[in-house]
Amino acid sequence: MARAAAILELAFLCLASGAQAEDGNSAFRFFDRLCLSRGPDYERTATTAGTNGWLPLPTETLIGLAPLESPEAVKGWAVSGNDLPQRMILAVSKHTLNGKPVYACTIVAFGINSTEFEKAFLERTDGEVIQQVRGATHVHKLYNVVLSGRRELVTLTVRVGSDGADDLMASSIAEAELQN
């Protein structure tokens, strides 16, 4: 329930800012660039956000966006810029899973074509669905993806019955690649 409340609060932020319906390919390119292609990275994402001047969001509104329970740390931003399709929410989180450090990177996009997003994702990754939960209003899919020899889990949560102006949440989860 906390996750739904956080998403609704973030949705209000985006919708109040005048976000327009956008194509899913642009939103996927953003997700790929920030979360997927090099894997999620807490510090790299925070540095990118600072460099771009994205608006930091309060931690309490971001906790529900972390795809794993009990994040050790979470940061997030309202994302906007000339090279971006629309305003979105970007969040990164740190976790420990089975004694190993794990990072997650999540985007929330509003008013996009989620079918186009998922198609671009599958063309890029050839991801394999390992779990799918269908609710009355949303479908949550968990994919196993291997990119550049690195295994990631990707979650997509989309509305049932896409109408071309959907809300979407996508997360990439991977073991942290720590620098020595």
- Cα 75 to Cα 2, 98, 141, distances in angstroms: 17, 22, 24
* pLDDT recorded at residue 8: 39
Tell me if 159 sits within 8 A of 143, measured CB to CB.
no
Instruction: Give the per-residue SS3 of 15-29.
Output: HHCCCCCECHHHHHH
**113 DSSP β-pair partners:** none
* 148 located within any domain: yes
Handedness of CA 89, 68, 4, 59 (dihedral sign): negative
Quote the pLDDT of residue 128.
87
Residues 6+ apart with CB under 8 A from 138: 157, 158, 159, 160
- Domain-located, residue 146: yes
Which tens digit of pLDDT belongs to each residue from 11-63? 444 444 444 445 788 889 999 999 999 889 999 999 999 998 899 999 888 87
Q: In this structure, what token pair is assigned to residue 61?
A: 């509104």
Residue 55 in any domain: the answer is: yes
Domain that holds residue 48: 2-175
Q: What pLDDT score does 106 carry?
A: 94
DSSP 8-state assignment for residue 149:
T
> Is 180 inside a domain boundary?
no
Q: Does the pLDDT of residue 173 top 50, yes or no? A: yes
Residue 7 is assigned to a structural domain of this protein: yes
pTM: 0.82
Tell me the DSSP string of 100-115. EEEEEEEEEEEEE-HH
Number of domains in the chain: 1
| Per-residue confidence (pLDDT) for residue 13, from 0 to 100 | 45
pLDDT per residue as tens digits for the range 90-136: 999 999 988 899 999 999 988 888 889 999 999 999 888 999 999 98
Residue 73 placed within a domain: yes
